[in-house]
Amino acid sequence: MTTKICLACDGLGRTLAFVLSGGNVNDCTRFNHVMAALRVERSGPGRPRVRPDHVIADKGYSSKAIRADLRRRGIGHTIPERADQQANRRRRGSRGGRPPVFDKQLYKHRNVVERCFNRLKQCRSVATPEMTRRGVRIPHDVAIVGYDDIDFAAAAAVPLTSVRQPRHLLGRTAAELLIEEATEDSSHQHRQVVFDPELVVRDSSDRTIGRRPRRRLPSREGVTVTRDPA
């Protein structure tokens, strides 16, 4: 069973509210839960603010119910329409209604929430020693897995299990695709390239670490699993 976080942040990337849900749960079903959790204290007297001025969300939150609820509450919103929704609206013709208003320039600010998630990922290096100090055993009580296998992962107080991507191959392939698109004629077709990641298992999720030699395990669903006793 996997989990994921649905999160709301302000324009400066500061977390305002979040909910934890199952990894197989549709994002849009968690939207109202996140909105209901919003509480921003005022600098002076008065109740906390619970209504944002504007909401920017990705295609996972594109639904008529969400847009209708935001309009009812008087909250401006910028949410791109999914391709299947666009096709369905065009298929219905005039009965499909007008497309929702979408401001491309305003939507560029959605990267703020991505940067917020990245900062939260960095907090794992702070969380692991704090949990250890409080007597929480890692990984016996809590298992922790990171992403991108950044430099501190192996050097953390509790070495962090992490997903490693082929960074050099990613960069080289991106450059090749850009060159192809720049040099070929209008008949150029875009390609989707899939890379196989590697799961590097360390102390934060493997109870047997230190009792087994480093070895490469069989690939499962395109993911190579490696035990790293470091």
168-226 pLDDT, tens digit each:
898 999 899 889 888 877 777 878 888 888 888 988 887 665 555 444 444 555 566 76
Greater confidence (219 vs 125) lies with 125
146 Cβ contact partners less than 8 Å away, ≥ 6 residues apart: 121, 124, 153, 160, 161, 162, 163, 204
Q: What residue type is 129 in one-letter code?
A: P
- pLDDT tens figures, 134-144: 888 888 888 88
**pTM score of the predicted model:** 0.59
What is the per-residue pLDDT for 175?
92
Q: How far apart are CA 63 and CA 82, in angstroms?
A: 9
Report yes or no: 195 and 189 within 8 Å, Cβ to Cβ: no
Give 162's pLDDT tier (boundaries 50, 70, 90): confident
- pLDDT tens figures, 67-114: 999 999 999 999 999 999 999 988 988 888 888 999 999 999 999 998
What is the per-residue pLDDT for 124?
64
Angle formed by the axes of helices 111-122 and 124-133, nearest 10°: 40
What is the per-residue pLDDT for 73?
94
Q: How far apart are CA 192 and CA 190, in angstroms?
A: 7
What is the per-residue pLDDT for 69?
94
- pLDDT tens figures, 37-71: 999 988 888 999 999 999 999 999 999 999 999 99
For residue 34, give the H/E element and its range.
helix 31-36
